[in-house]
Structure 1
């Protein structure tokens, strides 16, 4: 998937993190992505739905 390709590029550039926090978008909820993170030993934390305060850093990063 595009999401996994993006993470592979990020890992090759920045290294493999211990944890990644994302929003609850459909791209981050797939079984393939869960398996991918498990393979790499990355803990995936998703934000609380409908809680922009809990998502503040992520939402700020996505701001255009």
Structure 2
């Protein structure tokens, strides 16, 4: 995961908010977040406005 690099650079977040992509809803991602004590939040499916901050960061 690229999140390891992000944590090394930015520090440990309390929460990560993602869309519902397969890599974000996988059990390995959930386990990784649990290991680091990070809350993993998913957006509402098919609702891009609920993901406005994430979408803006991705420029989509």
TM-score in terms of structure 2 length = 0.93
- Runs ≥4 residues deviating over 2 A: none
Provide the rounded CA distance (Å) in 1 between the counterparts of 2:33 and 2:48.
Answer: 24
Gap runs ≥5 in structure 2 = none
- Structure 1 or 2: larger helix share? 1
The number of equivalent residue pairs is 60
TM-score in terms of structure 1 length = 0.88
Alignment root-mean-square deviation, CA: 1.0
Gap runs ≥5 in structure 1 = none
